[in-house]
A and B are shown apart, each in its own frame.
Chain A
C-alpha cells in the first residue's frame, strides 16, 4: 500500500508534536513506575522474612521460663535474655534493654499458655509480631509433636514467593498490556475525531487508499505501545527485576496490542462517535481481561510464565495468538470502507 508509510509517519509526528500527549505518557510512565516500585517495596515490607533479612532491626527477647522457644528465637536471629520472673523482665523492658517478653508457664494438659508483652507502639509491635511468627510456629509444632501429632513437611524452606509471584503474575502483565489499552483508546479518539470533523471524507477522496490511512494510524499507535513496553522492561531491569524471554514477552505484547488496536478501530468505525465507542471499548476490554483469567491458554498467564522463565512455554504458545489477530486484521481490511460508509 503506497502512502501507508507516509500516514504512519504523519500520525507519529502529530502525536509527538502534541506535547501534551508526550507529557501525558511520561506522567503515566512516571506514576506507574513509582506505583509499581512502591507496591513491590510494600510487599517486601510486609514480608516478615525479608524484614528479618533486609532490615538492620536487631530484636532482643526476654524469655521467662525454660523452653525450646529460646532456641527457635535465636535461629531467627533474635537475641535472647533469660529471666527468672516476669517482673524482672518487665523492668528490663521499661529500661529498654529488651524489646518484648515471652513469658512461658509450664504446659497444662498439653496446652501452653504464653504471655507476650509488646511495646505500646503499634508499628513496632506489628513488626515484632511478624518477626516472631516463624519461631512461634516452630514451637507450636514442637508442642504438637509432644502431644503425639506429627506435622508433615516442616523441613521445607525455600524463599518467600509472594513478591515474586506478585511481580510476574500481576505487575509485568499489567505493565505490558496497559500500553495496549491506551493505544486502543487513542485510535478511537483519532478516528472519531476524523469522522466528527468530517476530515475522513476528505481522506477517503484522496489518492491514498483508505486502508493505508487506517493502517498507518493503527501502526503508529502500536509502535508507541511497544516503545512503552520496551521502556518498562528497561525500567524494571534498572530496579534489578529482570524479565526472562524478553523477545517473546514483547512479541506477545505486540500481538495483544495489535489485536486491541484493530479491534478498537472497528468499534470506532462502527459507532462513529467518541463517547459511545470509548464506552463500549472500555466495557469490552474489562470483560476480555476478566474472561482471559478463565481461559486457557490465557494471554495474561502466558505472559506471566514467559516473564518468569517457565520452561514449558515458548514461541509456539505465543504464535497461537497470531491466528485470531490475522482474522481480525482481515476483517478490518475488508470491512473498513463499508463500516465507514454506513450511517451511524
Chain B
C-alpha cells in the first residue's frame, strides 16, 4: 500500500476498528472530534454511524475512502456472521443481447413466472464469496459480465482488466531487458571497433545484424514459452502474439544502437524507447473490451487470451502487422546504413535520420525507392496517429469539439506530410534531384506509395476500429476520400517549397503543405458533420 497515513480521522468511542494503512485513527469524543475537525487536525469525524466532514475536497475524499473501506468491512461481516440466503438476498441473472427474434419466446416465459433457481444462485454466491476472500485477481479469469452470469451487487468487482494487463506486461519486461542487453552489446562492439573488423570480413550486413540479434530474440521467445507454461496459457497463441512484440522492441533497439555513438545518448534513447513501447503496448490494452481501439496493441490479444475470449484474424492483423513491418523496415534501413562512416559519425537526431533515409534510398532507382518509402512509412504514421487517436479518447476535453478535432487533425496532417516528403528532402539536400520535373515525379511516386499503403491499412483497420471520432474523421475526410491527386498536390507543395527555399527551410515547407492538407481535410470533415 503506497499511501500511508494519508487521512487523519477520528472515531467516537466504540467505533469501528480501521485496519488500513491509509487511515491514521484516533478515538475522540464528540466535542474533541468536532473541534479537531474544524482546526483541520483531522479530516473526518465518524460519530457512531454518521460521518461529520468539513466542506472541502480533502474531507470529502476521506469520506469516500472510508466509505469504500467500511462497505468492504460490512460485506465481510455479512459473510462471517449470517447465512448467505439472508445476507446476500439479491441475485441478478444477466441476460445479454436479447434479439428481437427471441422476444416471443421470452414473452411466454415471462407470462409464467420462472421458478427461482435458488440452488444455482446460492452456489454462485458461495463461489463469489470465496473469490472475494481469496482475491479473484490471482486467478486471472474473466471479470467482465459474461453471458448469463449471476451478479451479487456487494460482491461485484470492478470491470478493470488491470490484472490481465499486468500479466501481459509481465511478458514485456524481460523483452525490454533483452533489448537493452542486445543494445549494450552492439554499442560495445561499435565503440571498440570490433564491428569494423566484421565489416571487412566476407559477410553481409544482414548476416551481422541478424546474427547478433538472433540469440536475444531466441531467448525472449524461450521466456515467453516459460511464462505461458507457468501461467497456464496457450503456448502457440502466446508465441503468435508476442513474436511481433519482440521483433518490434528489437527493431527499436537496433536503430538506437546503429544511430547513436555515445553511451550518454544511448541511455537516454533507451529510456525514451522504454516509455514509448510501454505506453504504446500497455495503455490501449487497458481499454480491452471497452473500446476497439485497444486492438492496436497486441497485448490486448494476450489480455483476451487470459480471459478466455477469442479474437478474429483481422484483429490479429491490425495489431501485429504494423510491428512486423516496422521490424522489416528497420532491418532494411539497418543494413543500408551499416557502413563505417555512418556508424562512427556524430550528429543531432534529425541529421542522423536524414542521412539514414538518404542511405536507404537506392540512387539508381529514385522513383521506386521514394514510392516504397511512402508505402512503408504507413505503419509508422499509423502508430503515431493511433497514439494521437488514443489521446483524443482519453484526455478530458473541455474545449469545443470542433477546435479539439482541428488540433488532432493538424497533428495527423503534419505527421503525414513529413512522412511523404522526408525522403525527397534528403535527395534535395544531397543534390540528387536534377530538375523540377524530376522533383514533381518524385512527389507523385511518394504520394502514390503512401496512397496505396493507406488503402491497404484502411482495409484492415476499418473492419476492427470504427468507433473513435478521429478514425471516423480520418476515414471520412482524409484516408478514404482524399484522392491521390490531393496527396500529390500537398507533397509537391512541400517539395517545391523545399527546393526553392533550401533544405534549411524544410520545416517551413512542411508547414505550408500541412496548411493546405489541413484545410482540405477540415472542409470535408465539416461538410460531413454538416457544419458548413
Where the two chains meet, the residues of A that have a C-beta atom closer than 8 Å to any C-beta of B are: 18-21, 23-25, 27-28, 31-32, 34-35, 37-39, 41-42, 44-46, 54, 64, 85-87, 90-91, 93-94, 103, 105, 107-120, 122-123, 125-126, 129-130, 133, 136-137, 139-140, 143-144, 146-149, 151-153, 155-161, 164-165, 168-170, 173, 182, 185-186, 189-190, 192-193, 274-275, 278, 293, 296, 298, 300-301, 304-305, 308-312
Q: Which of A24, A193, A308 has the most CB of B within 10 A?
A: A24
- Whether a CB of chain A sits under 8 angstroms from the CB of B208 is no
Decide: A275 and B184 in contact? CB cutoff 8 A: yes
- Whether a CB of chain A sits under 8 angstroms from the CB of B264 is yes
Residues of B within 8 A of A120 (CB): 96-97, 99
Residues of A within 8 A of B2 (CB): 169-170, 173, 293, 300-301, 304
Decide: B50 and A155 in contact? CB cutoff 8 A: yes
Decide: B267 and A298 in contact? CB cutoff 8 A: no
Residues of B within 8 A of A190 (CB): 264
- Whether a CB of chain A sits under 8 angstroms from the CB of B435 is no
> How distant is the Cα of A94 from the Cα of B99 in the complex, in angstroms?
7
Decide: B89 and A143 in contact? CB cutoff 8 A: yes
Q: Which of B3, B8, B85, B396 has the most CB of A within 10 A?
A: B3
- Can you list 28 pairs linking A and B with CB atoms under 8 Å apart? A20-B265, A20-B348, A24-B265, A38-B279, A38-B283, A38-B390, A41-B396, A46-B159, A64-B110, A113-B116, A114-B92, A117-B95, A136-B90, A137-B154, A140-B153, A146-B89, A152-B49, A152-B74, A155-B50, A158-B53, A158-B61, A189-B263, A275-B188, A301-B4, A301-B5, A304-B2, A308-B6, A311-B8
| Contact of B160 (CB < 8 Å), options: A21, A37, A46 | A46
Residues of A within 8 A of B268 (CB): 20-21, 24-25, 28
Spot the interface stretch: B130-138, B286-294, B360-368, B375-383.
B286-294
Residues of B within 8 A of A148 (CB): 86
> How distant is the Cα of A278 from the Cα of B177 in the complex, in angstroms?
13
Decide: B40 and A94 in contact? CB cutoff 8 A: no
Residues of A within 8 A of B58 (CB): 308-309
- Quick one: given A37-B395, A107-B89, A133-B156, are A156 and B145 in contact (CB under 8 Å)? no
Residues of B within 8 A of A110 (CB): 85-86, 89
Closest CB of chain A to B392's CB: distance in Å? 11
Residues of A within 8 A of B387 (CB): 34
- Whether a CB of chain A sits under 8 angstroms from the CB of B226 is no
Residues of B within 8 A of A107 (CB): 89
| Contact of B116 (CB < 8 Å), options: A111, A137, A139 | A111
- Whether a CB of chain A sits under 8 angstroms from the CB of B211 is no
- Whether a CB of chain A sits under 8 angstroms from the CB of B404 is no
| Contact of A38 (CB < 8 Å), options: B85, B110, B394 | B394
Spot the interface stretch: B100-108, B233-241, B487-495.
B100-108
> How distant is the Cα of A193 from the Cα of B262 in the complex, in angstroms?
9
Decide: B90 and A139 in contact? CB cutoff 8 A: yes
> How distant is the Cα of A54 from the Cα of B394 in the complex, in angstroms?
13
| Contact of B103 (CB < 8 Å), options: A31, A42, A90, A123 | A90
Residues of B within 8 A of A309 (CB): 58
Residues of B within 8 A of A119 (CB): 96-97
| Contact of A133 (CB < 8 Å), options: B110, B153, B271 | B153
Interface size class of B (residues with CB under 8 A): 35 or more
- Quick one: given A35-B279, A147-B89, A153-B71, are A24 and B272 in contact (CB under 8 Å)? yes
Decide: A125 and B395 in contact? CB cutoff 8 A: no
Decide: B291 and A144 in contact? CB cutoff 8 A: no
A-B contact sample (18 more), CB < 8 A, given A94-B100, A111-B121, A144-B86: A24-B272, A85-B111, A90-B102, A94-B98, A111-B85, A114-B92, A116-B95, A119-B96, A123-B289, A129-B151, A139-B153, A140-B154, A144-B89, A148-B86, A159-B60, A193-B264, A298-B4, A311-B41
Residues of A within 8 A of B144 (CB): 122, 126
Spot the interface stretch: B62-70, B213-221, B457-465, B508-516.
B62-70
Closest CB of chain B to A248's CB: distance in Å? 16
- Whether a CB of chain A sits under 8 angstroms from the CB of B19 is no
CB neighbors of A among B72-87 (8 A)? 74, 78, 82, 85-87
- Quick one: given A94-B98, A116-B151, A274-B263, are A129 and B159 in contact (CB under 8 Å)? yes
Decide: A21 and B265 in contact? CB cutoff 8 A: yes
Residues of B within 8 A of A301 (CB): 2-6
| Contact of A161 (CB < 8 Å), options: B8, B65, B145 | B65
- Whether a CB of chain A sits under 8 angstroms from the CB of B342 is no
- Whether a CB of chain A sits under 8 angstroms from the CB of B345 is no
Closest CB of chain B to A295's CB: distance in Å? 10
- Quick one: given A42-B394, A86-B107, A170-B2, are A160 and B264 in contact (CB under 8 Å)? no
- Quick one: given A130-B159, A300-B2, are A28 and B271 in contact (CB under 8 Å)? yes
Closest CB of chain B to A24's CB: distance in Å? 3
Decide: A86 and B109 in contact? CB cutoff 8 A: yes
Residue of A whose beta carbon sits closest to that of B393: A41
Residues of B within 8 A of A160 (CB): 64
> How distant is the Cα of A308 from the Cα of B24 in the complex, in angstroms?
15
Decide: B93 and A153 in contact? CB cutoff 8 A: no
> How distant is the Cα of A247 from the Cα of B306 in the complex, in angstroms?
46
Decide: A159 and B61 in contact? CB cutoff 8 A: yes
| Contact of B93 (CB < 8 Å), options: A94, A116, A151 | A116
Decide: B289 and A126 in contact? CB cutoff 8 A: yes
| Contact of B6 (CB < 8 Å), options: A32, A111, A130, A305 | A305
> How distant is the Cα of A301 from the Cα of B65 in the complex, in angstroms?
17
> How distant is the Cα of A31 from the Cα of B281 in the complex, in angstroms?
13
Residue of A whose beta carbon sits closest to that of B2: A169
Decide: A123 and B291 in contact? CB cutoff 8 A: yes
- Whether a CB of chain A sits under 8 angstroms from the CB of B158 is yes
| Contact of B264 (CB < 8 Å), options: A111, A189, A298 | A189
- Quick one: given A158-B61, A161-B61, are A152 and B70 in contact (CB under 8 Å)? yes
Residue of A whose beta carbon sits closest to that of B467: A123
- Whether a CB of chain A sits under 8 angstroms from the CB of B117 is yes
Residue of B whose beta carbon sits closest to that of A69: B90
Residues of A within 8 A of B348 (CB): 19-20, 23
Residues of B within 8 A of A182 (CB): 271
Decide: B267 and A111 in contact? CB cutoff 8 A: no
- Whether a CB of chain A sits under 8 angstroms from the CB of B276 is yes
Decide: A114 and B74 in contact? CB cutoff 8 A: no
| Contact of A153 (CB < 8 Å), options: B74, B96, B395 | B74
- Quick one: given A86-B110, A137-B153, are A113 and B264 in contact (CB under 8 Å)? no
Q: Which 5 interchain pairs have the tightest Cβ spacing?
A: A158-B63, A120-B97, A87-B107, A158-B64, A24-B268
Decide: B89 and A112 in contact? CB cutoff 8 A: yes
Residue of B whose beta carbon sits closest to that of A192: B263
Decide: A168 and B6 in contact? CB cutoff 8 A: yes
Decide: B289 and A116 in contact? CB cutoff 8 A: no
Closest CB of chain B to A276's CB: distance in Å? 11
Decide: B272 and A149 in contact? CB cutoff 8 A: no
Decide: A140 and B65 in contact? CB cutoff 8 A: no
